[in-house]
Amino acid sequence: MPIKIPKPSTTSYNKTQTPSKKLIKIPKNKKQAPKPFIDRISLILDINDKAEAEGIHSNIGAQFADTQTFQSAKSGGGAYQTARRLCLPSATKAKHYPLVQYRHYQKLAVQFRLTFSPVDLDLSCMIEMHVLLTSLLEGGWCSFIQNARITMIEVSVDLNGVPISEVHPLPQQTTTAKVYSNNGHLQTLYLGKKKGNQYRIYDRAEKRNAKKQGWSSGECTRVERVERGKSIKPLELKQLPNPFLGLSFVDLPQSPPPGKQNVYVWPLFCDSVQQRTLPVALKLLPATTKRKEFRSWLSQHPKPWWDPDAIWDHWSQVLDDAKFLDVSYWDK
């Protein structure tokens, strides 16, 4: 009795394998593209004036003695002798308190390092942070805006309605990739080395539920770009190069690349993508033949919901709305 092989579907491979639970909304214009935000940032402020350094150090002990306002924290070792969390009354959680690390030498203030998550601090929290910083050094947050340098920044964007099962990232170049799963389901994908520049892509619902924090906002994938080892002046943030340009997201088409192909190779590759993620599956292929061919074919099938230029068009307005770099607002 002959075996009948069903005709393949014309839909993309990943859609037939992992159908989404809800319709993904595709922005009709650039204004509807998701907005980027600063997830986390570290700034270093050097104290170069000797008189200022003496004044800061003679005052800071009395300020840090208030352990309710300046809560003790681990200094992290290295150059900083002291670390404090700034208790902000308007912050919703203690983990959102900014971290200040302080270095001194021979009764002189040398350096401050400030790390916090702007996305977790509304304008009321920023004002409270500014007040506490002003009690430590003249100018407070305004002094950081004008004189500090950014050494680390995480810029993120949330893809609401996009399940991580349909997220297949295609970096511009082959890179280190690590995958973390929960009960067999992809939870987090890291592209790049931990101590260098890196993309983090994860399922927000899975992450929140794993921490027993609950999630009821539907499917959402967060894309984070972490840039370390920088030296950016805060007032130059508006000119920050688009951190999402080095990443694209693609469909897995049902048909293989044009040309002579073994009929089983492409389905096996697509199965590998579902189990390992696209960057890992590509690294298993010969670099100069199949990997190059498959990357070229995949790049012709971009996801319609990913538009780095449209996302980045919001960047300047996001900074303005938060008063993040508005010297005139803070210098009152």
Q: What is the pLDDT of residues 280-308, one digit of tens each?
A: 899 898 888 888 999 999 999 999 999 99
In a domain, 285, yes or no: yes
Same domain, 118 and 188: no
Residue 289 structural domain: 13-35+155-318
Question: Is the residue at 150 inside a domain?
Answer: no
Q: Residue 159: pLDDT above 90?
A: yes
- pLDDT score of 255 more than 60: yes
CA gap 161, 97 in Å, rounded: 30
* Distance between CA atoms of residues 156 and 221, nearest Å: 11
Query: Can you give the pLDDT at residue 186?
Result: 74
Higher pLDDT, 250 or 15: 250
Prediction pTM value = 0.86
pLDDT of residue 43 exceeding 80, the answer is yes
Residues 6+ apart with CB under 8 A from 86: 69, 70, 71, 97, 98, 99, 100, 128, 129, 132, 133
| 115 & 245 share domain | no
Token digits for 109? 């203030």
Dihedral, 167, 205, 117, 170 alpha carbons, nearest 10? -10
Q: How confident is the model at residue 59 (pLDDT cuts 50, 70, 90)?
A: very high
If you average pLDDT over every residue of the chain, what do you get? 86
For residues 168 and 69, membership in a common domain is answered with no
**Lowest pLDDT segment from 26-35, 44-53, 137-146, 264-273:** 26-35
- Strand residue runs (E) in 241-298: 247-249
Number of domains in the chain: 2
pLDDT reading at 37 higher than 70: yes
269 and 184 in a common domain:
yes
pLDDT of residue 23: 41
What is the residue whose two structure tokens read 């002990």?
A: 61
Task: Flag whether 69 is in a domain.
Answer: yes
Q: Do the beta carbons of residue 162 and residue 33 sit within 8 Å?
A: no
Euclidean distance between CA atoms 48 and 254, whole angstroms: 62
Give pLDDT, residue 13.
Answer: 54
